[in-house]
Structure 1
Amino acid sequence: MDMGLSVTVAAGVLAFSLISALAAISFSVLSSAESGIMLDRTLWEDFREHRWTVSVEVDSVTFTNPTTLKINVTNVGGVGIPEYEFKKVDVLVVYTAAVTGVKVIEYLKYNPSGGAGTWRVSSVSTSGVAGESINPICPCPTAGKGVWDPRERLSILAFLSQSADTMRGANALVATPWGVYGYR
């Protein structure tokens, strides 16, 4: 057998092996991408289902002290928002720092116990009356089983990470897990 022919055959076998390996990897990547697309499709369907039925309005934003805002938010949509989803509710506040006089935009995380840089539910009212009778929300550290039902107003306490100039006012944006938000 000629040496040149052996090298050619070996190169062909090596090329075939590399092409087979690349094809297997490509198939694996495409299968993973297809699974991701299916997952994204499921999330998209969930988004579409809730996007048109969820709506919130920020009714008022007031200082209770230089490091705490009270934000009243009403669920004006057609469906309730489960309390276990509160960790996915975004609360952003805009205020002026007391020390520097600079505008601050702060993202607050949900924490039923409160604390600097967090928000929690202080109380719930239905049609202007304190309390609720359906799916009650527990404004306490053991929260999780209630629902923020349509027409219910949450009084949220937002705990700032620094003191604010209370004479300059503040604004708040509250966004649901489905991207629907209210701002004042």
Structure 2
Amino acid sequence: MWFTEHEWRTTTDHWDLVKSLDWPMYVKPAGMGSSIGISRVTSMEELRAGVELALAYDRMVIVEQGVTAREIVCGVLGGHDTPEVSVPGELIVPGDWLDYEAKYLSPAEIATIPAVLPERVAEDVRELTLRAFRAIGGYGLARADFLYEEDTGRLYLLEINTMPGFTPRSVYARAWAASGVPYPDLLRRLIDLAFARSGA
């Protein structure tokens, strides 16, 4: 579910905005990344606090129903007509979710690359990543994030991130390294794509 700050401020019963979802829920600012401004909530009191936190970063809020699933990521590299996808990776999620501290401040390993998945699921991840990239008119780079429910076989596209983390430790770069494109080559290819797009 999503709503604007105006809708939140003018709705008399906040439950109406999220009543189709079950607890736990995750409250997120729509335009942020790196788990900034996200809250895991299990009650109306926590929901209200989570929405206020999210509104400190964006005027639009997304509320997602929590699911028990593995978090899978896949990188895209290329132009509009010839994008390629990396091998999928899997985020290692300590506790309930992967927050900013776990992503950036902890020395602990945060990903398994490539992800250990059934071949059909890995191919579905790659195909859905390409479809999402094309759907938004992507160019250059992106990372698609999924939740995979092993019990049901369901695959949920969480988001397509058009500016993923980009250090050698980042899962985007590591997924490409595991796909045969080491970090220096990845940089060169992205620079070439930028020049090609600008006509230089």
Shorter-chain TM-score bucket reads under 0.3
Which protein has the bigger strand share? 1
For the pair shown, the structure with the greater C-alpha radius of gyration is 1
TM-score relative to the length of structure 2: 0.26
TM-score relative to the length of structure 1: 0.28
- Higher RCO, Cα 8 Å, sep 6+: 1
